[in-house]
Amino acid sequence: MTLGIVYHMPFWRDADGTLREVEGSFARYVDSLAPYFDEISLCVPLLPAAAGAGTPVRARNVTVAPLPAFDGPVHFYPRLLTVLPRLVRWTRTLDVLHCRLPTPAAVFAFAFARLFRRPAFLLVVGDLRALLPSMRYRGLKRVLWRAYTAFEERNVQWMADRALTFANGPALAAKHSRPGRAAIETRTTTIEDVDIGSRADTCAAKQVRALVVSRIDPRKGLRLLPAAVRRVVDAGVDLTLDIVGPLAGSLGEEEREAVVDAARREDVADRFRLRGAVALEELLPMYSHYDLFVLPTLPGEGIPRVLLEAMSAGLPIVTTRTAGIPGLVQHEINGLLVGEPTPDAIAGAMLTVVRDATLRRRLIANGYDTARAHTLQAQAARMMATVSSELRLPLRAVAVTAR
């Protein structure tokens, strides 16, 4: 049984043939599905050289049907005529297709899979329409991005109307459900059982270390953080904040400069550090060196996988009540949710975490319970049980108990 997965996350091969992925979350997802199939074939961009440390694919039954490297739809569509023949040949080799959405090549692979009568299932992890208000394009770029968003939104729903669909969080599940064909809520994750920590508390040292893990992207609300840090420091807390994550293209470069400028204006530049991209295998142990986790994200995604990563490391969480996040984070149970993301709201929640030890320990303990229920192994077991039943596919038996 060969599973084909189409997505836009770039990979490359080391000199020894090891397949590596830039961010790491998708590589771990592929590894979690690998035990259920004889082969997994990835239709993904293949880079000619390494892009950082990356995260290796550990499963030995994973192959690549390479696409040309592209940075978003603006680079993908000019190459469409060369990509389509590859997608035709690739889909013919599959027993079942899996599309991770949104991604530009998916609708074409899905159409070919239907033509060749190959079953398919989807995982929707993002919401392009919800991103529109935070996209800082102007003029013609803004018009083109809106047109592309409408086109891609129609594509995703067209596929969801015709295939078994999983969606990251309740908001995306509700968006893509239709009468008689409900999208199944899931939660994307990167954590394994061995990643879950045991510390009972944080904020014991004089200096409090806050962490953000996020792409440097206008959709993530990072510009709010310097003012929030200023307010926390003015309240008497010795706080530092590190932002870990890659740039999201040219918009990311602009956002980085905006965050740096805001830190200078608020006179907290010495308390801010942008650490850039860190490979997942290095990132997961890093969480345990911090005292609290902050993510002021704006609408446009399902449930950020970094929230589960932070919970697994015993970090109390401050994040926003937006998109699918309330489907994972319950206010004052396993995290603190702010409504409208403002510097005052974020600073207030951070101060609450630092000053209320009883609440903080409760958030940490319940965060561990949440993480244990949403490991890669548990997620894969639930998804593949549904795929096998709904699509009538004889998948391999795997000794994992779904929770």
What is the DSSP-derived secondary structure letter of residue 290?
Answer: -
DSSP 3-state assignment of 222? helix
- Pairing state between β 96-101 and 62-64: unpaired
Each residue of 314-351: pLDDT tens digit? 999 999 998 789 989 999 999 999 998 899 999 999 99
Structural domain spans, the chain: 2-189+376-391, 193-373
pLDDT at residue 351, as a whole number: 98
pLDDT at residue 340, as a whole number: 86
Confidence bin at 177 (pLDDT 50/70/90) = very high
Overall average pLDDT of the 26-55 stretch: 94
On average, the pLDDT of the chain sits at: 93
Q: Which two tokens stand for residue 274?
A: 């942008």
- Pairing state between β 120-124 and 239-244: unpaired
- Pairing state between β 239-244 and 208-213: parallel
Residue type, 175: K
| 2-189+376-391 has CATH 3.30.379.10 classification | no
Overall average pLDDT of the 87-98 stretch: 98
Task: Please check whether residue 97 is in contact with residue 119, taking contact to mean a CB–CB distance below 8 angstroms.
Answer: yes
Total residue length of the chain: 403
Residue type, 13: R
Widest CA span in the chain = 65
Do 2-189+376-391 and 193-373 share a fold? yes
pLDDT at residue 187, as a whole number: 87
What topology is assigned to 193-373 in CATH? Rossmann fold (3.40.50)
Distance (Å, rounded) from C-alpha 277 to C-alpha 215?
8
Overall average pLDDT of the 298-325 stretch: 90
pLDDT at residue 322, as a whole number: 85
- Pairing state between β 55-56 and 19-21: antiparallel
**pLDDT surpasses 60 at 401:** no
Each residue of 251-296: pLDDT tens digit? 789 899 999 999 999 999 999 999 998 888 899 999 999 999 999 9
- Pairing state between β 120-124 and 62-64: unpaired
**How many other C-beta atoms can be found within 10 angstroms of the C-beta atom of residue 166?**
27
Instruction: Residue 114: name the closest of 91, 131, 137, 135 by CA.
Output: 91
DSSP 3-state assignment of 124? strand
pLDDT at residue 159, as a whole number: 98
Confidence bin at 300 (pLDDT 50/70/90) = low
Distance (Å, rounded) from C-alpha 161 to C-alpha 87?
22
CA 355 to chain centre: 30
**pLDDT surpasses 60 at 169:** yes
Overall average pLDDT of the 78-107 stretch: 96
pLDDT at residue 111, as a whole number: 98
Higher pLDDT, 134 or 57: 57
Distance (Å, rounded) from C-alpha 48 to C-alpha 131?
31
Overall average pLDDT of the 166-179 stretch: 93
**pLDDT surpasses 50 at 403:** no
pTM for the model = 0.85
What percent of the chain stands above pLDDT 90?
A: 77
